[in-house]
């Protein structure tokens, strides 16, 4: 199967949904229940705005009682001298009730197995918002 997507397509979810549909004649793919994807060099200034908008669309007002789960793995990510995960948490913490959830299976690289998926799911109970910070595996875990 050849999927005709470019990197710039990935932030246009209608395009992604169309390509998935075109390549799924047997209707086997799960639906893509994501509202937005932002791909850019400097998206962090938009994070709280995006959260506020989606909480409002759910009929609530975002604030100090908005439960945010920040799903991460134990791998350090730096942007220059800055710890990226700590930076994201520092953007969220003044506005929301943030709990950082570290998914660690003891391997150098996280595996998205049933145990990790169950842990992430359990840790996310009661969350209004889930924010993942990291690479592809932790992002996939957070989507479940």
Whether 133 contacts 84, CB under 8 Å: yes
SS3 83: strand
CB within 8 A of 10, min separation 6: which ones? 16, 37, 39
**In a structure prediction context, what are the per-residue pLDDT tens digits for the chain, which is 144 residues long?**
567 777 777 778 888 888 888 888 898 888 777 777 777 788 899 999 999 999 999 999 999 999 999 999 999 999 999 999 999 999 999 999 999 999 999 998 999 999 999 999 999 999 999 999 998 899 889 987
CB within 8 A of 96, min separation 6: which ones? 51, 62, 63, 64, 66, 67, 68, 129
Handedness of CA 36, 47, 125, 116 (dihedral sign): positive
SS3 65: coil
Which residue ranges form the domains of the chain, and what is each CATH number?
A: 1-39 (no CATH), 40-143 (3.40.50)
Handedness of CA 12, 32, 35, 77 (dihedral sign): negative
């Amino acid at each position: 199967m050849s999927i005709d997507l470019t990197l710039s397509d990935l932030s246009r979810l209608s395009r992604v949904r169309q390509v998935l549909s075109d390549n799924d004649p047997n209707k086997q793919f799960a639906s893509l229940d994501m509202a937005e994807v932002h791909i850019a060099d400097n998206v962090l200034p938009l994070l709280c705005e995006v959260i506020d908008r989606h909480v409002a669309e759910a009929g609530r007002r975002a604030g100090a009682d908005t439960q945010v789960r920040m799903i991460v793995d134990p791998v350090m990510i730096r942007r220059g001298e800055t710890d990226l995960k700590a930076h994201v948490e520092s953007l969220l913490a003044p506005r929301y009730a943030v709990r950082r959830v570290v998914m660690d299976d003891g391997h150098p690289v996280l595996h998205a197995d049933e145990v990790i998926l169950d842990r992430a799911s359990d840790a996310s109970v009661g969350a209004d918002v889930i924010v993942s910070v990291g690479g592809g595996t932790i992002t996939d875990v957070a989507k479940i």
